[in-house]
Chains A and B, each alone.
Chain A
């Protein structure tokens, strides 16, 4: 029932109001004395170098794709889990087949070093 989601709506409203009020109040009341150190992205961290928009290694891409694939696998567990008792052995074998195929993929990725960073 969509009405059940009213608390979420209220929470979003409160969070938004809090963020807006806090930012507006601090902008209005706080003193503003900027200097280059204060304005740097990491005031107490390492000095930034280069542009943030540089090319990333393809290794991140590999990690992201593998994450999506296993994410989709996990999503399919939910409809099975809520009906676990009703589906019984049939559901278990259906899910087992599904997982077996993906286990082959998992072993393949592992053997090929897909989980290694180098």
Chain B
């Protein structure tokens, strides 16, 4: 009974991810990606991480997807079939080779990794007691304080970069 939402969200995520690849129109691919990211947010909720779910919806499904759509509009691609055939004639065999290599790599890692089965510190009961967002905050301002401050530098670099790129005098 408890696993029904998980299987539903997992199947939705996988199907939508297939849609991202299969759709011929890049705008439809972006919409399918929105479904993937929202389904992942649902999975985070099932993992007792509602803060992560909210961040997922706000940052990924909201902001980053908007960026994707803008990049699509910026490049103005037609449908996938409109591209002249044979322009990238090595694309198909190379995609098969590298895609296969990636799948083999993932399979190898999954087979070789022994997944920990014990319960860590952040059990659902513990999170329910102190609160998910509080747990994130406590970790962020103690063990992960330096990465947190460095994040601000990363954002600063991104700000400067986008201004330099977009405000170039043409």
List chain A positions with a Cβ less than 8 A from chain B. 1-2, 5, 9, 53-56, 58-62, 64-69, 71-73, 75-76, 78-80, 82-83, 86-87, 90-91, 94, 97-99, 101-102, 104-106, 108-109, 112-114
Contacts and interface: CB of A to CB of B under 8 A. Distances in A.
Contact of A82 (B128, B134, B167): B134
A6 to B, nearest CB: 10
Contact of B74 (A58, A66, A82, A108): A58
A90 B145 CA distance: 11
A102 to B, nearest CB: 5
B115 interface: no
A114 B163 contact: yes
Top-3 shortest CB links A-B? A79-B137, A101-B152, A105-B159
B128 A87 contact: no
B124 interface: yes
Contact of B59 (A75, A109, A114): A75
B141 A60 contact: no
A73 B155 CA distance: 8
Contacts of A112: 163, 167
A3 to B, nearest CB: 9
Chain A, interface SS category: helix
Given A68-B59, A71-B62, A101-B152, A83 B141 contact: yes
11 contacts: A2-B2, A53-B27, A61-B70, A68-B63, A78-B54, A79-B51, A80-B140, A86-B138, A106-B159, A113-B167, A114-B167
B49 to A, nearest CB: 10
A84 B140 CA distance: 13
A82 B66 contact: no
B45 A2 contact: yes
